[in-house]
Structure 1
Amino acid sequence: MVKEAFKYSNGKTKRELVERALQKFVANRKRKDVRDLIGTVEIDPNYDYKKLRTEQN
């Protein structure tokens, strides 16, 4: 698995590879789960996401 990880990384050492993997792991764990936000955000009933998509070029 380490050889495969080196294919997708520009890391030079195993230590570098492990540090980057741990940084990604911690960042992913810190990220809030969108399901935890249910009921905490009020959505504007007039919000039209489809219109916004067509306005962007």
Structure 2
Amino acid sequence: MSVPQIDIDDDALERAMTVAKVGTKEEAVNLALNFYVEQQKRAARISRHFERAREWGAVEDAERLHRAEKNDR
């Protein structure tokens, strides 16, 4: 494991530690990094599913249904 020397916003780090209920800066940074990676993976999965739905015509069907429901109001 590396020991990088970086400048981190002390206020942001303190808030992150409080919200995450962690006791060390290392825990907070590692938690934030892992959270970011998981969010990016999740966004990529959602994007792939959305593209598949578009290929199947499901997106257009949903948009058409939404417009119909909106017009009925």
Matches within 5 A, 1:1-57: 1-31=12-42, 32-34=45-47, 35-40=50-55
The gaps in structure 1 that reach 5 residues or longer are 44-57
After TM superposition, the runs of 4+ consecutive aligned structure 1 residues lying more than 2 A away are: 33-43
Q: How many residues are treated as equivalent by the alignment? A: 44
In percent, how many aligned pairs have the same letter? 23
Bigger RCO of structures 1 and 2 (CA < 8 A, at least 6 apart): 1
Q: CA deviation at 1:25?
A: 0.4
The equivalent residue for 1:54 is none
Q: CA RMSD in A?
A: 2.4
Please state whether the residue corresponding to 1:33 is helix, strand or coil.
helix
Larger Rg: 2
The gaps in structure 2 that reach 5 residues or longer are 1-11, 59-73
TM-score, normalised by the number of residues in structure 2? 0.46
